[in-house]
A and B are shown apart, each in its own frame.
Chain A
Amino acid sequence: MRIVIAEDLLLLRDGLIRILTDTGHTVVAAVDNATDLRTAVAEHRPDLSIVDVRLPPGFRDEGLRAALAIRAETPDAPVLILSQYVERAYAADLLADGRGAVGYLLKDRVTSLDDFLDAIERVAAGGTAMDPEVVSQLFARNSRNRGLAALTPREREVLGLMAQGLSNSAICAALVLAPVSVEKHISNILAKLDLPPADDTHRRVRAVLAYLNQ
């Protein structure tokens, strides 16, 4: 996969490059600010951009804003946002366009290598990768939601993994369940939340996230 990285801290930029190249990806550009990021994306048309939220010059959320600008210009450009902290509001910004190919993860998740590699594959393929912490923030704000209250503990677990963007087979592996039972849980969840059944995983994930985000 051809990847552009935007990260201002040298230590982390190098770490990311090392991890990505070691796992068979190509880092076509590694920049340290938002302006260079936009230039690099326009120039290289990468399969994925991995962007730090906080970038110079303001060290606020320039990275996120640049990512949104890139997606406004090139709607399906896959972007994975990395951050030292996660804010549900930022996730909502990223998900607002209703398209896939977005991810929002804590930087710590990079160190769970398999999960991280799975996440970048997912985002590059048009899917979604939401940090578990964002998902738990979403659950917290929906704690009085009747639909969620009707879910069994197991269904809540499955919903949490769905919201992170995991595919059915990944959910099976994570919860050590048979594919049939996962599918049954999912159709129960969609029914209880009054969401339309859909075969397309990505679309289903986005519907779940939109539901939790509303």
Chain B
Amino acid sequence: MGAVTSAPPRTPWAGRTVRSLGYLASAVPVGIPAFAWFVASVVLVGLLSLSRLGPHAFLASATAARALAGVERRRADRLLRHPVASPYVPLTAPNVTGRARQLAGSPATWRDAAWLALLFPLSLVCLLPALACTLVTLGLVTAPAWLWAVPNPNAPWFVAPLVSTWPGRCVASLVGVALAVPVAYLVVRVADGQVRFAGWLLGIGAQQALAQRLVETRVRVVDAQAAELRRIERDLHDGAQARIVAAGMTLALAERKLRAGPPTAADDVRLARRQLDDALAELRRLVRGIHPPILTDRGLAEALSALAADSPLAVDVHAAGTPQLPAAVESAAYFVVAEALTNAAKHADATSCRIDIHAEPGLLTVRVRDDGRGGADPAGAGLDGLRRRAEALGGTLTVTSPAGGPTVVLAELPCAS
């Protein structure tokens, strides 16, 4: 590197070589605590896993690992301009055990651990040859300046002329200059390899990146679909439904005027009017299935209260303080409760039901528990449709319904708000 930096026109290579050496060298001071962390974690977590403190130890160890891995990501970005995206997903579990379990289930935790365990040996393996080559090259280039001070009478015959004579030392310097380029290349490549390996372990994998992209596009699709359903509801309300009502009004007036005339004509008009009524009833059922108007009008909590009030069961709704959520999430929650209540009344022979809505940042939990006799078929058409609806939002729907009851329907719906 010295060779290259000493050359007056600084090429991009010069800076890159310096930064690469810096990256390789700074890996050692990070690698030492990382290695110490690894050993300490294995011992501590191993021992404490026998006690109740196991999850705490694991959580603490993983938190420290994430901090160290964060240093590694920053190092890669700052020194080699190799950005490494953080792959962590937020921990949502309410307690230590849950969070520890989430961490243990996350590949990122183990990839961090692998990197931190490998960093120290790897840094030595990479740094030592790179440093040795660099120092030799530097030494050769500057040979005329210092070699005279350390005369070496024991030099082998083929090295002696280079070491002991002025022209020889100049030739050595030239050899050093010639070596500088491949050595710089070697240093850059080694550092590059190391940082790529770091990026592979510490970043988001190709699969995870793909999954992330899929999640993002799915959210957009679901939002667009919800907006579309509301638009359809509005269009039907202002368009088809209004037109049919208006036609009915005209027919009603015609019917009234025909009362004086022939009875058959009046009968036909009355029939036409009834047919329009049927069309409207049909449309209304359709609209309710697409997007219940009360959800738009008054939000989820009130729409659920309306559902509860319309149910023949004694229903307790705990949904106070539910914030406004994306339309797709509200509508999924609404249909989950509607279906669960219908099932409880129809099949489970329940007399009462409890609905709990819990909104936390990023997650809406809907829980419907009845006091019926259980035995619900989770693969039944209604529940299966709801499950697919929840999954489209990236959520889950679980039904537990042991024989003898109670049936609990639990939907967990992620939401961006």
**A interface residues with partner B (beta carbon < 8 Å):** 9, 11-12, 14-16, 18-19, 22-23, 54, 59-61, 84-85, 87-89, 92, 106-108, 110-113, 137, 140-144
16 more A-B residue pairs beyond the given contacts A92-B309, A111-B251, A144-B312, with a C-beta to C-beta distance below 8 A:
A11-B246, A15-B246, A19-B249, A54-B293, A84-B237, A85-B284, A87-B306, A89-B302, A108-B245, A108-B276, A108-B281, A110-B245, A111-B273, A113-B252, A113-B253, A144-B313
Shortest distance from the beta carbon of A174 to any chain B beta carbon, whole Å: 17
Give the distance in Å from the alpha carbon of A22 to the alpha carbon of B280 in the complex. Answer: 24
Are A89 and B293 in touch, CB under 8 angstroms? no
Interface size class of B (residues with CB under 8 A): 35 or more
Contact between B242 and A140, CB atoms less than 8 A apart: no
Tell me the smallest distance from the CB of B315 to a CB of chain A, in Å.
9
Contacting A at CB under 8 A, from B306-351, are: 306, 309-313, 351
Contact A12 B245 (CB under 8 A): yes
A-B contact pairs, 11 of them (CB 8 A): A14-B246, A15-B246, A85-B288, A87-B293, A87-B306, A92-B309, A110-B252, A111-B251, A111-B276, A111-B277, A141-B310
Q: List which B261-281 residues lie within 8 A (CB) of chain A.
A: 273, 276-277, 280-281
Whole-angstrom CA separation of A87 from B306 in the bound complex: 8
- Taking CB atoms, residues of chain B closer than 8 Å to A14 are 246
Provide the residues of chain A in CB contact with B251, threshold 8 Å: 111
Contacts of B281 in A (CB 8 A): 108
**For chains A and B in complex, what number of residue pairs have CB atoms within 8 angstroms?**
97
A61 and B256 contacting across the interface, CB-CB below 8 Å = no
From residue A58, how far is it (CB to closest CB) to chain B in Å?
A: 9
Task: Please tell me which one of the listed residues A19, A106, A141 contacts residue B311 in the complex, with CB atoms under 8 A apart.
Answer: A141
Q: Which of B241, B256, B273, B294 contacts A89 (CB 8 A)?
A: B294
Q: Inside 8 A of B305's CB, which chain A residues have their CB?
A: 89
In the bound assembly, the distance between CA atoms of A141 and B276 in angstroms comes to 28
Report Cα–Cα, A142/B313, bound state, in Å.
Answer: 9
Docked pose: A61 CA to B306 CA in angstroms: 15
| Complex Cα–Cα for A106 and B248 (A) | 13
Residue of B242, B280, B306 near A12 (CB, 8 A) is B242
**Chain A residues in 8 Å Cβ range of B92:** none
Q: How far is the CA of A144 from the CA of B313 in the complex (A)?
A: 8
Interface status of B250 (Cβ within 8 A of chain A): yes
Q: How far is the CA of A111 from the CA of B250 in the complex (A)?
A: 8
CA–CA, A106 and B242, complex, Å? 12
Interface pair A61/B297, CB less than 8 Å apart: yes
Q: A60-B296, A89-B305 are in contact. Are A110 and B310 (CB under 8 A)?
A: no
Whose C-beta in chain A lies nearest to the C-beta of B299? A60
**Do the beta carbons of B277 and A88 come within 8 Å of each other?**
no
Report chain A residues within 8 Å CB of B246. Answer: 11-12, 14-15
Q: Is B388 in contact with chain A by the CB < 8 A criterion?
A: no
Is B80's beta carbon under 8 Å from chain A?
A: no
Q: Inside 8 A of A23's CB, which chain B residues have their CB?
A: 256
A9: chain B residues within 8 A (beta carbon) = 238, 242
Q: Is the interface of A mostly helix, strand, loop or mixed?
A: helix
Asked whether, in the complex, the Cβ of A89 is within 8 Å of the Cβ of B306, the reply is: yes
Q: Which residue of A lies closest to B280 (CB)?
A: A108
CB nearest neighbor in A for B241? A84
Q: Which residue of A lies closest to B288 (CB)?
A: A85
Minimum C-beta distance from A73 to chain B (A): 23
- Find out whether the CB atom of A111 lies under 8 angstroms from the CB atom of B248: yes
Which of B250, B276, B298, B351 is the one whose CB lies under 8 Å from A15?
B250
From B307, which residue of chain A is reached at the shortest CB distance? A89
A107–B253 CA distance with the chains assembled, in angstroms: 15
Which listed residue, A11, A16, A111, A144, touches B243 by the CB 8 Å rule?
A: A11
Q: Does B234 contact A (CB under 8 A)?
A: yes
Q: Is the CB of B284 within 8 A of A142?
A: no
- Determine the distance from Cα of A140 to Cα of B309 in the docked complex, in whole angstroms: 10
Q: Which B residue sits closest to A108, measured CB to CB?
A: B280
Chain B residues, Cβ within 8 Å of A89: 294, 298, 302, 305-306, 309
Which of A12, A14, A60, A89 is the most central at the interface, judged by chain B CB atoms within 10 Å of its CB?
Answer: A89
What is the chain B residue whose CB lies nearest that of A16? B249
Contacting A143 at CB < 8 Å: which of B276, B284, B312? B312
Contact B248 A61 (CB under 8 A): no
B287 at the binding interface (Cβ < 8 Å) = yes
- Residue B255 is within 8 A (CB to CB) of chain A in the complex: yes
Contact across chains for A15 and B245 when beta carbons are under 8 A apart: yes
Contact of A140 among B284, B294, B312 (CB under 8 A): B312
CB of B297 within 8 A of CB of A60, answer yes
> How many angstroms from the CA of A108 to the CA of B275 in the assembled complex?
11
* CB proximity of A12 to chain B, nearest CB, Å: 6
In contact, B256 and A113 (Cβ under 8 angstroms): yes
Give every chain A residue within 8 A of B255 (Cβ-Cβ).
113
Would you give the shortest CB distance from B171 to chain A, in whole angstroms? 89
CB neighbours of A11 from chain B (8 A): 242-243, 246
Complex partner residue of A110 from B237, B249, B309, CB under 8 angstroms: B249
Q: Are B253 and A88 in contact (CB under 8 A)?
A: no
Q: A11-B246, A110-B245 are in contact. Are A85 and B253 (CB under 8 A)?
A: no
Q: Chain B residues with Cβ under 8 A from A141's Cβ?
A: 309-312
Q: How far is A54 from B416 in the complex, measured between Cα atoms in Å? A: 29
Bound form: Cα–Cα A137–B251 in Å: 29
**Closest chain A residue, CB of each to CB of B238:** A9
Give the residue name and chain of the B residue nearest to A8 (CB). B238
Tell me the smallest distance from the CB of B355 to a CB of chain A, in Å: 15
A79 to chain B, nearest CB (A): 18
* Residue pair A60, B312 in contact (C-beta under 8 Å): no
CB distance from B239 to the nearest CB of A (A): 9
Query: CA A110 – CA B237 in complex, angstroms?
Result: 16
